[in-house]
Structure 1
């Protein structure tokens, strides 16, 4: 799905709160800067993580549909290029210590 076009909605009051929108699917992804804000993953959504210039980002879908989930990695790759971090490694779990312990 490399042909998809992505759009970015930004919050002028919070530079860490971007939302990636796919123009070609219903995929929407919230971006969180984990060094500046709290993040509690929603168990009904998908989360991926990545470092951008030593800052950990979380990416969480918004009302994800199964057919749109396949586009998630491409959307994050697009965002990584947009923020000038094209080599961002996309991580399946939160790399911070004690963040993946089941309660």
Structure 2
């Protein structure tokens, strides 16, 4: 069984601005703490969300390619383990009130 290996780039000035990198593919995912950061979803990217340690996280791909799309969830699960919250529920839509209303 093949396992993906992920690396994490952190911003020393912002502990909540991480980027997950796949070692073996071009997959990159930017992490946002929505309790602290503003976030505007890019229509060309994949966004997923999750709660951990009383924080809401947004995960957004960076220049996603079709062959990397299937690895997004496993990368987020790896990050959840990394932040010591292995049972993070990964949500397909922004759970904040009013963020998914059609205009």
What TM bracket, shorter-length normalisation?
over 0.9
Aligned in 2, Cα 1:2/1:14: closer, same or farther, shift over 3 Å?
A: farther
Aligned to 2:80, the other structure's residue is in SS state helix
Residue 81 (structure 2) aligns with:
81
Give, in whole Å, the separation in 1 of the partners of 2:21 and 2:50. Answer: 18
**Following TM superposition, where does structure 1 have runs of at least 4 consecutive aligned residues deviating by more than 6 angstroms?**
none
Aligned in 2, Cα 1:77/1:41: closer, same or farther, shift over 3 Å?
A: same
Q: Which ranges in structure 1 are unaligned for 5 or more consecutive residues? A: none
Q: So what's the TM-score if we normalise by structure 2?
A: 0.96
Residue 22 (structure 1) aligns with:
22
Q: How many residues align?
A: 103
Could you tell me how far 1:2 is from its partner in structure 2?
5.5
Give, in whole Å, the separation in 1 of the partners of 2:82 and 2:30. Answer: 15
Residue 41 (structure 1) aligns with:
41
Give, in whole Å, the separation in 2 of the partners of 1:26 and 1:56. Answer: 26
Q: So what's the TM-score if we normalise by structure 1?
A: 0.96
